[in-house]
Amino acid sequence: MIEQIENGMELSKVREILNEVIGIANEIGKITNSYNDLDDRPAIDGVELTSKSSMRDFKIEASQLPNQEELEKLFIQIAERKAEEVAKNAVAGKLDSNYSVLKKLEYNIGENMTVAIGTPEGEIFQTSLDDLVLYLKHAILKIDDQYLRVIK
């Protein structure tokens, strides 16, 4: 079980907990969104549908069809629906979508709450929520009672 992050917790402990969560997420594996990476793709008369499938692959002379464009559109629609179904089935077991079983995270937000702030250079600073709010109040100008602009 992963430990919860608590107010006032040392940054190294927070980092350890977050790294544990990242490790678990990485173990879930990559979920593909590419039709070509899926197993058990649909086929018509033994010809597997791919992104490169064409009418020639199905041993039907296009010139014999009364409405070739409409038939091609129909093939594409069927292939897209089947691909979506196969993708959903492949992803279904990867992540539990029943969020009601997850433990609710509650925050005890107060003025003295410790906040970690990271810079683009990778430095991390610690401040209180009260000091952060005070800084933000000074960094924002109210214009025409409707618009806010951040001063850089």
Q: What tens digit of pLDDT does each residue of 34-89 get?
A: 777 777 778 887 888 877 887 777 776 656 667 777 878 888 889 899 988 888 87
Residue 27 has pLDDT above 70, yes or no: yes
Structure tokens at 128: 């209180």
Residues with Cβ within 8 Å of 74's Cβ and at least 6 positions away in sequence, in order, are none
pLDDT band at 144 (very low <50, low <70, confident <90, very high): very low
Q: Is 49 exposed, middle or buried (0-12, 13-18, 19+ CB in 10 A)?
A: buried
Top-confidence residue, 108 or 10: 10
The pLDDT tens digits of the residues spanning 109-137 come to 777 788 888 888 888 888 888 888 777 77
Contact 105, 4 (CB under 8 A): yes
- Please give the pLDDT value at position 136: 73
Mean of pLDDT values over 18-46: 77
Mean of pLDDT values over 6-32: 83
What's the pTM value of the predicted model, to 2 decimals?
0.24
Contact 90, 37 (CB under 8 A): no
Top-confidence residue, 98 or 71: 71
For the ranges 6-15, 61-70, 86-95, 105-114, the one whose mean pLDDT is highest: 6-15
